Amino acid sequence: MAERSADDRSRQIREWLTNWAAAQHEQDGQSRTPDNQSIWEYLSRPPRGPRPALTHNQIATAAVQLADEAGLDAVTMRALAKRLDVATMGLYRYVRGKDDIYALMLNTAVGEISLPDKHDDDWRAAFRRLAGEMRGMYLRHTWLPQLEAGTFGMIAPNSLAVIEAGLAALDNVGRDLDVDEMMAAAGAIAAYVRGSATSAIARQEAYRRFGWSSDDDMRAASGPPLLRVLARGDYPTLARYIVDGSNEDDDEWQFSFGLECVLGGVAARLGI
Amino acid sequence: MAERSADDRSRQIREWLTNWAAAQHEQDGQSRTPDNQSIWEYLSRPPRGPRPALTHNQIATAAVQLADEAGLDAVTMRALAKRLDVATMGLYRYVRGKDDIYALMLNTAVGEISLPDKHDDDWRAAFRRLAGEMRGMYLRHTWLPQLEAGTFGMIAPNSLAVIEAGLAALDNVGRDLDVDEMMAAAGAIAAYVRGSATSAIARQEAYRRFGWSSDDDMRAASGPPLLRVLARGDYPTLARYIVDGSNEDDDEWQFSFGLECVLGGVAARLGI
DNA sequence: CCTTAGTGCGTACGTTGTACCCGATTCTGA
DNA sequence: TCAGAATCGGGTACAACGTACGCACTAAGG
């Protein structure tokens, strides 16, 4: 893969930087290319024609509210337009399609993550706070995993600040770390948080869908079919957990347990 | 949450077991209730009327193939029926709706995970193998995260064997562990694997969508807009990674790095 | 034999995303 | 000041989706 040396890449990036600066200057006051790759280039428009009735922020907020209330499937162009009091097709003045709506929603959700102004003294404390913020975001917006998976992990502008916060926490440990190891470690923590939150959401949504309010309700409803399988004796350890487990419905405890495992493993691996 | 004692729960589970056994006996040869909760109760049918033209296995395999070739959105009832050479509505003789198709697909994918017959001597080796199998499943079927998120983590029968394999590996460490900690540890590892695989898929799909074949292509395409942000100096650590990083496109390395972190952290936390 | 549960198939409906056209509005260049 | 261009909000129309429903037929049980 990486056939070019780090020097080559560094040189090319400097080249891009100057190219970009030149392009930026030349594009000043000109019309934009009609086929921008992302919606973020559209956010500011030339002040020609009537004043737009909406802002992208209003659209994003309304879409997030819709999804929070009734799930991601409830976010249709028609429902969104109705909530914003515009015609359905009027939305297409602001976005090029539904994917742009998804992008706006993701950016808004990620933007809710509050990042500390200054670095923590302890990198673990920084990650605990960051992980808690991310987990809170997922639990507030249970449609997020579905959206991220459906859009194949698009990166919103606000995501950059979160990534930077993770890397910066690892950059603050006193000794110099390899950048690749830093990114891999931060990525591993993020992967755990996302996977764990997704599991918690899945359980929570399953409970809501079936009208269960506690773990015992779940057992009462899915018990017999599940036990039919367990009774065959093929899954002895799982059966023991279901019978003897006592923290099965404590998502918070499971999350913290796993997070401490990951943090401890990172510490040992990086020698920090 | 857990207001009932472990004894209460254990007693209730024994009660369910006997109830289920009684119900099973009585249901023998009778018609099933029309509103079964899951499709798995439908898999075997009474041999009345003409022989069905399809099996659930054929439906599941065809749906998986469709998704592998053209993405989850390509799995429509019409396309699936055409591939199976039946009328569109004919599928509804086998499933109650599209959710059942998704359930069959998930079960088929999870069924591809090969579990070792005997326990490994080293629990870490067992998890490495299991994690590799799961990762392979995700990379073969890049639509899986989308499906799991969309169905809010439904559990397929084949999933039970995978969960059991994880728990069994931790049950084989010589000393007796708390079942809750075992489940939390296995869940943390699984969460990491899923999150990591989802990230890898996202990157891979983004590359495919934009026609990039290497990391340098990505840089060339998204470089300028990205650098416009990085040039503002708000994300110094991220900028350093992009300039100096050399393992950015090595998903396999990142995955192994994170997995070893998690395994090491679990080992330290559980004292094994 | 007839009854009946199960079969494959086709039509039709409501909902979705969105392409396209319209007249009205407002800033800009002459 | 005043055309012209660019952009606005609104509405109609269409293809594709999931699926409710009804039809004629087949094969096993009494």
What local confidence, expressed as pLDDT, does residue B217 receive?
Answer: 65
How far B54 CA sits from the closest chain A CA (Å)?
Answer: 25
Two tokens, residue A158: 């606000």
Task: Considering only the C-alpha atoms of chain A, give the largest distance between any 2 of them, rounded to a whole number of Å.
Answer: 73
Kind and range of the H or E element at B159?
A: helix B157-170
Catalogue the E-assigned strands of chain B. Answer: none
Angle (deg, nearest 10), helices A157-170 and B236-244:
80
Summarize pLDDT for B157-195 with one digit per residue, the tens: 899 899 999 999 999 888 889 999 999 999 999 999 999
What local confidence, expressed as pLDDT, does residue B24 receive?
Answer: 36
Residues 88-107 of A with CB under 7 A from strand C: 88-89, 92, 97-99
What local confidence, expressed as pLDDT, does residue B139 receive?
Answer: 97
What local confidence, expressed as pLDDT, does residue A156 receive?
Answer: 86
Set of chain B residues whose Cβ sits within 8 Å of the Cβ of A190: 195, 199
pLDDT over 70 (residue B17): no
CA angle B214, B217, B220 (to 5 degrees): 155
**Cβ separation A195–B199 shorter than 8 A:** no
A48 closest-nt by C1' vs CA = C27
Question: Low-confidence residues of chain A, pLDDT below 70?
Answer: 1-37, 41-49, 119-120, 209-226, 228
Set of chain B residues whose Cβ sits within 8 Å of the Cβ of A227: 13, 16-17, 20
What local confidence, expressed as pLDDT, does residue B262 receive?
Answer: 98
A183: number of Cβ within 10 Å? 24
Instruction: Give the model's confidence band at B47: pLDDT under 50 very low, under 70 low, under 90 confident, else very high.
Output: low
pLDDT over 70 (residue B133): yes
Alpha-carbon dihedral sign for residues B157, B117, A248, A150: negative
Does the nearest atom of strand C lie within 7 Å of A34's Cβ?
Answer: no
Residue of A nearest to B238 (CA): A164
Residue whose CA lies closest to nucleotide D26 C1' = B50
Q: Enumerate residues 139 to 178 of chain B having a beta carbon within 8 A of any beta carbon in chain A.
A: 145-146, 148-150, 152-154, 157, 160-161, 163-164, 167-168, 171
| CA–CA distance, B258 with B208 (Å, rounded to integer) | 25
Summarize pLDDT for B19-36 with one digit per residue, the tens: 444 333 333 222 232 345
How far A53 CA sits from the closest chain B CA (Å)?
Answer: 28
Summarize pLDDT for B219-262 with one digit per residue, the tens: 666 556 667 677 777 889 988 888 787 877 789 999 999 999 99
Question: What pTM value is reported for the model?
Answer: 0.87
Where does residue B71 fall: left (phi above 0), alpha (psi -120 to 50 degrees), or beta otherwise? left
pLDDT over 50 (residue B63): yes
Two tokens, residue A231: 């009774």
Two tokens, residue B225: 């807009």
Q: Which residue has the tokens 């994917």?
A: A99
**Cβ separation A257–B229 shorter than 8 A:** no
CA–C1' B80–C14 (A)? 22
Q: Which of A9, A102, A144 would you mutate first to test chain B, the one with the most B CBs within 10 A?
A: A9
Mean pLDDT throughout B201-227?
A: 70
CA–C1' B42–D24 (A)? 25
What local confidence, expressed as pLDDT, does residue A34 receive?
Answer: 37
Does the nearest atom of strand C lie within 7 Å of A83's Cβ?
Answer: no
Set of chain A residues whose Cβ sits within 8 Å of the Cβ of B248: 2, 180, 183
* Residue B89 DSSP class: G
Which chain C positions come under 7 Å from a protein C-beta? 4-11, 15-21, 24-28
pLDDT over 50 (residue B102): yes
Residue of B nearest to A160 (CA): B235
Alpha-carbon dihedral sign for residues B90, B93, B97, B103: negative
CA angle B246, B249, B253 (to 5 degrees): 85
Q: Which of A193, A232, A262 would you mutate first to test chain B, the one with the most B CBs within 10 A?
A: A262
Q: How far is CA A226 from CA B35, B160, B264, in A?
A: 17, 10, 33
Angle (deg, nearest 10), helices B179-210 and A179-210:
110
CA–C1' A242–D7 (A)? 63
Q: How far is CA B254 from CA B48, B87, B187, in A?
A: 55, 46, 20
Identify the burial level of B101 via C-beta atoms within 10 angstroms of its C-beta, where 0-12 means exposed, 13-18 middle and 19 or more buried. buried
pLDDT over 80 (residue B209): no
**Cβ separation A198–B194 shorter than 8 A:** yes
What local confidence, expressed as pLDDT, does residue B218 receive?
Answer: 62
Q: Enumerate residues 191 to 210 of chain B having a beta carbon within 8 A of any beta carbon in chain A.
A: 191-196, 198-199, 201-203, 205-206, 209
Residue of B nearest to A245 (CA): B180
CA–C1' B83–D12 (A)? 35
How far B91 CA sits from the closest chain A CA (Å)?
Answer: 24
Summarize pLDDT for A183-241 with one digit per residue, the tens: 999 999 999 999 999 999 998 887 776 666 666 666 666 556 667 677 777 889 988 88
A29 closest-nt by C1' vs CA = C28
Q: How far is CA B196 from CA A166, B115, B126, in A?
A: 16, 21, 19
B89 closest-nt by C1' vs CA = C9
In terms of Cα–Cα distance, which of A92, A95, A81 is closest to A39? Answer: A95
What local confidence, expressed as pLDDT, does residue B246 receive?
Answer: 81
What local confidence, expressed as pLDDT, does residue B22 receive?
Answer: 39
